[in-house]
Amino acid sequence: MVLCTGNSCRSQIAEGYLRYFVQDKAEIYSAGIETHGVNPKAVETMKEDEIDISQYTSNNIDEYRNINFDFVITVCDHAKENCPYFPTKAMTFHHNFQDPAKAVGTVEEINFAFKKVREEIKNYCENFIKENIL
């Protein structure tokens, strides 16, 4: 489970990369403590790396209360600090990625922010799978 505030950008990108790197060796989910819809810029940025997240949905953590996850990864400080408690034996991991959806500036600067965070999340996910799943 990848958890973020709105399940619109960082957690969606992480879900895409975790699915890519794990292939069929695990089930991957993402959710938010709120739902904001999947960010179109996240979809576009992932498409540049040939990963299609256009059919992903923005889900609330409450939808997954009955799943006993092995791992829960929070990808923003807000989610880590505000996630409602749900019973799990999951190992928890945390990495605070900047929110590219909050980037301001020119189109080029905003695109750069998305690509920078995408690459950070990609590297994190690849290492996570290598160290914990494979």
* Given the residues 33, 53, 83, 121, the one annotated as active site: 83
Q: What length is written for the chain?
A: 134
Which residues lie below 8 Å from residue 129, measured CB to CB, with a gap of 6+?
A: 18, 21, 22
Q: Which 8-state DSSP code applies to residue 100?
A: G
**Catalytic: 4?**
yes
Identify the active-site residue in 76, 117, 121, 129: 76
Q: Return phi, psi of residue 120, to 5°.
A: -65, -45
Residue 96, amino acid: N
Positive or negative: CA dihedral 71, 59, 9, 3: negative
Q: How far apart are CA 48 and CA 64, in angstroms?
A: 30
Catalytic residue among 1, 2, 3, 4: 4
* Annotation marks residue 76 as catalytic: yes
Is 125 among the residues known to form the active site?
Answer: no
- What dihedral do alpha carbons 31, 75, 94, 2 form, nearest 10°? 30
**Active site residue ranges:** 4, 76, 83
